[in-house]
Structure 1
Amino acid sequence: MIDTIAARLDEAAVTRTALAQFGADAGLDVATAYQVQDALVARRVGRGEAVVGVKLGLTSRAKMTQMGVDEVIWGRLTDAMHICDGGTVDLSGHIHPKVEPEVAFLVEGGAIAAVAPAVELIDSRYRDFRFTLAEVIADNTSASGFVVGPWQPVPDNVDNLGVLLEVDGRVAQVGSTAAILGDPRRALPEAARLAGELRDGWVLLAGAATAAVPLTPGAHVRVTVEQLGTVSLRASA
């Protein structure tokens, strides 16, 4: 079952075809879902991708409410998911992409070495962007892409910085880093607890500060985090 579900999720991503939810009959619980995620990411690594970080999901009340779940989850980031700051993402390679503002940490020696504003691109492989907790875990927590701004020292007040998500120059979401576990620095021990060892040089996406918004053709997205600066990406037309 594990390999079968992983293969179906992988095919959905590669062919950009949304899957029907697996449903209760699949017997997919949280523990099994992480095994599926392992197998799914192993397929990507087998094609030459490298794991370069970890992401936490559902760390804000807004995201929990939006997705109808109530538990922090985690997934993997690979080098193929990385998008350069100011770069363009090809929407033809996605099903129904969304973006959300994040705080990224650079991990060194098991500690936080630097911080940056970030954008995460999520793209559930399930129809209508609807899923159970186990289903989204199996789907590598909808991970699809990420953009990281300039690294800098972590300010003492990183636990309550304003966050602004703009699309085409218009405000789409406003939030605070306090929405991320109450203090985004808590993402480090949480990620270590959930994912185990965090390697030097890995990126840790601490979680979204606001709900996600759809990414449409030609859109220009900019995230500003107070004191940390800005990061952006553009969608292909």
Structure 2
Amino acid sequence: MTGPTPAGLALALDDAARAARPIPPLTDAAPLGLAEAYGVQRLATERRCARGESVVGVKMGFTSRAKMAQMGVDDLILGRLTDAMAVEDGGTLDTGGLIHPRIEPEIAFLLGSPLSGRVSPYEAARAVSAVAVAYEVLDSRYQDFRFTLPDVIADNASAAAFGVGPWHDPVDVANLGLVLEIDGRTAETGSSAAVLGHPLRALAAAARLAGTAGTGLEAGWIVLAGAATTAVPLPRRAHVKVASARLGRVEVTTR
């Protein structure tokens, strides 16, 4: 790669997130390969950890076949979750520090044992200690939500915040209905089957991609399996609920 250094790109993204000020896509200025993009993501996360944050899991992106086709890719992407991104169930999220936030309903896995490398969905399931309904807040740090695949990987797969409902003993999550409500009105409905046909396939992919991103999945980590619906704009001063008949609900209020 020529042009700016990986450390410089990580600094630019970190500064953009902290100031809630969008920047042009990195690839506008220089080519960026996928391995290099994951390197930038790692360096940006290390900057967060140097400020006192801790990595608590990962999130999966592009888990919809339609989204893959839209982006012209044939694989998922992975981003890192830190404790500072977590919002307590029923808590408040300040969207004033975000650029153009969007929210989507998800299934979350809690790992009871480490997971890494190429594993089958069945093997991935054996590492799961609990499951829950969840949401993820996305917030690209790029102007006009415009980016290439390496850009979004470098930008931590657009991860901004997340919330998880009550944990349940592992159940079959192959086809769970999920409803996203904003201020009591249904914004999106979908099924966990939208996540690669089964969220456990996303968990298996997370183990594989973690190696690409320079990490393994650790016991105690949370894995957000991917969106069950299209992400929708997240307004300020709103009450949001994601519900599943089998896994209960998770709620958040924005300000």
Q: Please classify the TM superposition score into its range, dividing by the shorter chain length.
A: over 0.9
- The percentage of aligned residue pairs carrying the same residue is 56
1:37 lines up with 2:44 in the alignment:
no
1:204 lines up with 2:208 in the alignment:
no
After the TM superposition, which residues 11-160 of structure 1 pair with which residues of structure 2 at under 5 Å, given as runs?
A: 11-23=15-27, 25-64=29-68, 70-110=74-114, 111-156=127-172, 158-160=173-175
1:228 lines up with 2:247 in the alignment:
yes
Quote the residue 1:191 is aligned against: 206
Quote the residue 2:184 is aligned against: 169
RMSD: 1.5
Deviation at 1:22, TM superposition (A): 2.4
Question: How far apart are the structure 1 equivalents of 2:71 and 2:184?
Answer: 26
Deviation at 1:69, TM superposition (A): 5.0
C-alpha contact 1:107 1:201 (8 A) present in aligned 2: yes
Alignment partner of 1:102: what SS? strand
Question: How far apart are the structure 2 equivalents of 1:168 and 1:81?
Answer: 22
After the TM superposition, which residues 2-13 of structure 1 pair with which residues of structure 2 at under 5 Å, given as runs?
A: 2-13=6-17
Closer/same/farther in 2, CA of residues 80 and 175 from structure 1, 3 Å limit: same
Closer/same/farther in 2, CA of residues 220 and 70 from structure 1, 3 Å limit: farther
TM-score normalized with structure 2 length:
0.88
Task: Give unmatched runs, 5+ long, in structure 2.
Answer: 115-126
Moved over 4 A (4+): 65-70
Deviation at 1:235, TM superposition (A): 0.7
Closer/same/farther in 2, CA of residues 68 and 164 from structure 1, 3 Å limit: farther
Alignment partner of 2:205: what SS? helix
Deviation at 1:66, TM superposition (A): 6.6
Task: Give unmatched runs, 5+ long, in structure 1.
Answer: none
C-alpha contact 2:113 2:220 (8 A) present in aligned 1: no
Question: How far apart are the structure 2 equivalents of 1:233 and 1:174?
Answer: 18
* Aligned amino acid, residue 6 of structure 1: A
Deviation at 1:154, TM superposition (A): 2.1
Closer/same/farther in 2, CA of residues 65 and 214 from structure 1, 3 Å limit: farther
C-alpha contact 1:58 1:70 (8 A) present in aligned 2: no
Deviation digits for residues 183-231 of structure 1, max 9, x if unmatched?
1112222111110421111001011101100111111111112311111
Question: How far apart are the structure 1 equivalents of 2:98 and 2:70?
Answer: 20
C-alpha contact 1:112 1:188 (8 A) present in aligned 2: no
Question: How far apart are the structure 2 equivalents of 1:140 and 1:128?
Answer: 17
Question: How far apart are the structure 1 equivalents of 2:244 and 2:48?
Answer: 32
Question: How far apart are the structure 2 equivalents of 1:24 and 1:92?
Answer: 27
Deviation digits for residues 51-96 of structure 1, max 9, x if unmatched?
0001111102354467665531001000000100011101111111
Closer/same/farther in 2, CA of residues 25 and 17 from structure 1, 3 Å limit: closer
Aligned length: 235
* Aligned amino acid, residue 187 of structure 1: A
